């Protein structure tokens, strides 16, 4: 794909991020998913408008693209996002098997305006026993039954 096409898709993501702020819908983030040079889905950050802390632009656009294609696997797709993905969005991008990420603003740019993912990155590197958010394990032996069932089920869909 020509660089001008990449820039076109990124400009759409940036326009979504600006529109979102102007309309008071939420944070300054937008994302577009493209497959074979065609836009499958586009979304801005929807955290405030949906009262959903997981409705970042990247997660929202992944949900829309999956609905459009009727699959959880976005192999062959690329995502254009107005900002370097946060840890949650990066995880979603990997789980969706997206082929490539194009981004505009950096996580440092986001931190400068109050969207600082540094604390989350730090927590991920901290042992569970020392994290700010307590992690307490309960009923592992009972919960393993679902894992054993999954492991022996023949008609499962791997992802």
| Residue 58 annotated among the catalytic residues of the structure | yes
Report how far residue 17's alpha carbon sits from residue 5's, in angstroms, rounded to the nearest whole number: 19
Catalytic choice (2, 15, 58, 68): 58
The dihedrals phi and psi of 151, each to the nearest 5 degrees, come to: -65, -30
Residue 127 Cα distances to 117, 135, 145, angstroms: 18, 10, 26
* Angle (deg, nearest 10), helices 3-22 and 57-69: 120
Cα angle: 81, vertex 83, 84; to 5 degrees: 95
Which residues does the annotation mark as catalytic? 58
């Amino acid at each position: 794909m020509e660089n001008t096409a990449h820039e076109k898709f990124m400009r759409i993501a940036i326009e979504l991020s600006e529109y979102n702020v102007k309309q008071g819908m939420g944070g300054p983030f937008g994302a577009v998913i493209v497959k074979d040079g065609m836009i499958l889905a586009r979304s801005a950050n929807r955290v405030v408008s949906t009262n959903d802390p997981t409705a970042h632009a990247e997660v929202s656009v992944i949900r829309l693209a999956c609905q459009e294609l009727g699959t959880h696997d976005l192999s062959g797709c690329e995502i254009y996002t107005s900002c370097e993905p946060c840890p949650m969005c990066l995880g979603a991008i990997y789980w969706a098997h997206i082929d490539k990420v194009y981004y505009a603003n950096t996580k440092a740019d986001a931190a400068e305006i109050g969207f600082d993912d540094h604390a989350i990155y730090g927590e991920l590197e901290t042992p569970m026993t020392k994290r700010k958010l307590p992690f307490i394990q309960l009923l592992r032996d009972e919960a393993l039954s679902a894992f054993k069932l999954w492991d022996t089920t023949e008609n499962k869909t791997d992802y």
